[in-house]
Structure 1
Amino acid sequence: MINFGIIGTNWITQQYIDAAHATGEWKLTAVYSRNLEKAYSFGEKNGATKFYDQIEDLINDKNVDAVYIASPNSLHFAQAKQVIEADKVAVVEKPMVANPTEWEQLDEALEKHPQALLFEAARHIHEDNFRAIRNQVGQMKLIQGATLTYAKYSSRYDSYLEGHEPNIFSLNFAGGALQDLGVYLAYDAVCWFGMPEEVAYFAQKIRTGVDGKGIAILRYPEFDVTLNIGKNINSELSSEIYGVKDSIVMDNAAELNRVEYIDEEGNRRLISDDPESNPMIAEARDFARVIQDPDNHINRKDYQNWLDLSRNVNKLLYNLRQNGKIYFTNEKEED
């Protein structure tokens, strides 16, 4: 059993706790919140027995094996580094860090602390339907491009419209559409097609300086991939991967609830399965497999592949931000 603590008490933390418990391989032990009363109220209903308002106390708790980090984006790096330096497992909600400099520093920390492990909680890459798409792409004669969409109105945008600056729409907290929903599409592109040769990001910035929505173009040697991202709109557009006469159609490039392959004759074949009731179960199960048997050669290979993929996605997101002239607070262009 993996005893874990949490940093962050929002809805996504609750979803991860539910998924982790559903696997039967995780047990919530400790909760951190700046407000100790909130740590108690959130933790007790989920079975936690220890509650902290100092992060160091959570990380140094000898009964905590792993820490799930779901704080604002800008805090991920420092908190993950603390967990690694305590020789523990860090599960960091996407995006793990803001730029390649931070990513490399975490990699250096892992080298110094070989007992520690680091996972980016990019949930959909662990799902069967994601792998089904990757397998189908590999079987297609020729790829001629793709259009991937994930645009979902954020409830925090209402607060922005009232004149406030929520974390997810703030440069101070490394927010914006690309850093949030765009992570899913970046993982799609890198995993299914590899790293692009050139990128462009046409960001539609809002008052706070972040991108409320935007269009990214990823240029590969023989085709382009378009990413359509938004947190201040809703879109019901499907996503597609184009072959010659065949194609793959997804209901949503991040949710992947229904995926069809359309062959050259126009015949449709469902290549997706019914998704789990909780979309985080697959990642929680995969992380547990590696944590509990890190020396297994398959687990080592999977773990390294996930780290490499995370590094490339981080680089892609950073390059897109640079092209779109989006710089987070205290971040230099050369970071």
Structure 2
Amino acid sequence: MIKLGIIGTNWITQQFIDAIKLSQKFELTTVYSRHEETAKAFADKNSAKETFTDLDSFFTQGDFDTVYIASPNSLHFEQAQKAIQNGKNVIVEKPAFSTQKQMATIQELLIHNPNVLYFEAARNIHTENFHSIEEKLGDFKTVQGAEFTYSKYSSRYDLVLKGQEPNVFSLKYAGGALQDLGVYTVYDAVALFGMPEETAYFPQLIRTGVDGKGTAILRYPEYNVTLNFSKITNSHMTSEIYGLKDLIEIDDAGELNTVIYIDDDNNKQVIGNTIDENPMLPEVEDFARVINDPKIPQNKKDYDYWRQLSVYVNKVIYNLRQDAHISFVGEHK
């Protein structure tokens, strides 16, 4: 059983804990929060045995070997750095880090701590439906690009409209649409098509200075991939990958609930409609598989691929931000 510590007690953390309960390969032992009452309430609800309000004590005294980091984006780097330095495996919510410098520092730390494993929790690429897309795409005679859309109105935007600045819409905490729902679309593109040659981002900025929504263009040698994402509007637009006359239609670039192949004659075939009991369960199973047996050849191959993919996605997102002149508070220190 993998002993798990957590940083962050929000809804995404609870969803992850619910997923590990289904998996039965992790045991939540340790909870960190800045506030004792918050840590204790989460620990009691999920049967964790210990809580901490001091981050250094959490890492040096906590009874866990793997940490799940779901704090505000701007805190990921420092917390992951401390975890690796203390010999803890790291599962960090997407986006892992805000800058390429931060990512490079973490990768260097991992080289010097070879027994520590690092995962970015990008759940969409671990699903059976995503693997169905990969398999069918391999049969395409020609690829002519794609459009990925993931737009969901955030209830936190109501607070922005009332004059407040929640973390997810704050430059101080590395917020914005690209840093949230946009990450899923970047993962879709990079995992399926590789690194683009050029990138451009056209954001719609909101009062707090972050991008509430935006469109990104990834240029490849023979086609473009368009990414649309938003946290201030809803969209029911499907996502599509284009062949010559055929295509793959996806209900949602983040959720990937239904995947349909449409052939040259407009015949439709459902190639993916597996909906997991918990959307984080596939990634939890993958992470546990590698943590428990990291030296098995297939596990090592998968781990190396996910780790490199995380580096590539970080680079694309950073380049998109630079193109749009979006800078976070303190990121250049």
TMscore range, shorter length: over 0.9
Supply the AA of the counterpart residue of 1:87.
G
Contact 1:123 1:283 in 2 (8 A): yes
Supply the AA of the counterpart residue of 1:169.
F
- The answer to whether the aligner puts 1:309 opposite 2:309 as a matched pair is yes
Question: Aligned partners of 2:305 and 2:38: how far apart in 1?
Answer: 37
Partner of 1:108: 108
Partner of 1:67: 67
Measured against aligned partners, the alpha-carbon deviations of 1:81-103 in whole angstroms (never above 9, x if no partner) come to 10011111111000000011000
Contact 1:205 1:212 in 2 (8 A): yes
Kindly state the Cα deviation for residue 295 of structure 1 after the two structures are TM-superposed. 1.3
Question: Aligned partners of 2:55 and 2:331: how far apart in 1?
Answer: 24
Partner of 1:237: 237
Supply the AA of the counterpart residue of 2:71.
S
Structure 2 portions without partners, runs of 5+: none
Q: Which runs of 4+ in 1 moved over 3 A?
A: none
- The answer to whether the aligner puts 1:201 opposite 2:180 as a matched pair is no
Partner of 2:170: 170
Supply the AA of the counterpart residue of 2:69.
I
Structure 1 portions without partners, runs of 5+: none
Aligned length: 333
Partner of 2:46: 46
Question: Aligned partners of 2:160 and 2:134: how far apart in 1?
Answer: 37
Supply the AA of the counterpart residue of 1:118.
Y
Matched position secondary structure for 1:78 = helix
Supply the AA of the counterpart residue of 2:136.
Q
Give the TM-score taking structure 2 as reference length: 0.98
Kindly state the Cα deviation for residue 43 of structure 1 after the two structures are TM-superposed. 1.0
Question: Aligned partners of 1:109 and 1:206: how far apart in 2?
Answer: 36
| Cα RMSD, aligned residues only | 1.0
Matched position secondary structure for 1:171 = coil
Contact 1:33 1:53 in 2 (8 A): yes
Give the TM-score taking structure 1 as reference length: 0.98
Q: Quick one: percent identity of the two aligned structures? A: 54
Task: Report 1:260-275 matches (<5 A).
Answer: 260-275=260-275
Question: Aligned partners of 2:2 and 2:21: how far apart in 1?
Answer: 10
Contact 2:30 2:62 in 1 (8 A): no
Kindly state the Cα deviation for residue 62 of structure 1 after the two structures are TM-superposed. 5.3
Contact 1:59 1:67 in 2 (8 A): no
Kindly state the Cα deviation for residue 125 of structure 1 after the two structures are TM-superposed. 0.8
Measured against aligned partners, the alpha-carbon deviations of 1:199-238 in whole angstroms (never above 9, x if no partner) come to 1100111111110000101111111111001000010111
Task: Report 1:133-282 matches (<5 A).
Answer: 133-282=133-282
Supply the AA of the counterpart residue of 1:302.
D
Contact 2:68 2:90 in 1 (8 A): yes
Kindly state the Cα deviation for residue 63 of structure 1 after the two structures are TM-superposed. 2.1
